[in-house]
Amino acid sequence: MNIKIIALGKIKEKFLKEGIDEFMKRLTPYANVEIVELSPVEIRDENLVERALDEEGEKILSHIKAQSYVITLEIEGKQLSSPDLANKIEEVTNDGISEIVFVIGSSCGISKNVSARANFKLSMSKMTFLHQFARLILVEQIYRAFKIIKGETYHK
């Protein structure tokens, strides 16, 4: 299984980088995981948010293959438990899809075009997180999902 995480912005905080790196290392026996960091579009005028999201969306979509299964992280998406996320990943794999792409937007969200491309829209919580935190939580949950799929123990 190939997993690609497309995220806008760089991780600046050392503790977040270390956490992400740790889970990326733990994921190596289960999947090929790649993080693609894209630069967010600077928004100087709040009236231009849609245009900025569209520009970001074009960048994001250029990194997604036609046959990839796309999961966007969206506030209005569906919330899943960890076992449900594991089931979703297993279901996609069993359907013969070889790449899952997770998309984490910028602080303003994601473009309508990227949302429309999504095969599944996932909400991490009703709470709002910094998108840098979302990346750490996502890689941990992907790791947890593979542990669940393989029937291996992982702390609760």
Q: Which two tokens stand for residue 8?
A: 């806008």
Q: Which one, of 149, 82, 88, lies nearest residue 120 by Cα?
A: 88
Domains and CATH numbers, the chain: 2-42+55-149 (3.40.1280.10)
Mind listing the pLDDT tens digit for each residue in 90-130?
Answer: 999 999 999 999 999 988 889 999 999 999 999 999 888 88
For residue 145, the model assigns a pLDDT of 97
Mind listing the pLDDT tens digit for each residue in 52-90?
Answer: 899 999 999 999 999 999 999 999 999 999 999 999 999
4: Cα separation from own chain's centroid: 8
Phi-psi region of 96 (alpha: psi -120 to 50; beta: other; left: phi over 0): left
Q: Which amino acid is at 133?
A: F
For residue 118, the model assigns a pLDDT of 98
What is the distance between the alpha carbons of residues 72 and 116, in angstroms, rounded to a whole number?
A: 10
For residue 127, the model assigns a pLDDT of 87
Instruction: Please provide the DSSP assignment of the chain as one string.
Output: -EEEEEEES----HHHHHHHHHHHHHHTTT-EEEEEEEPPPP-SSGGGHHHHHHHHHHHHHTT--TT-EEEEEEEEEEE--HHHHHHHHHHHHHTT--EEEEEE-BTTB--HHHHHH-SEEEE--SS---HHHHHHHHHHHHHHHHHHHTT-----
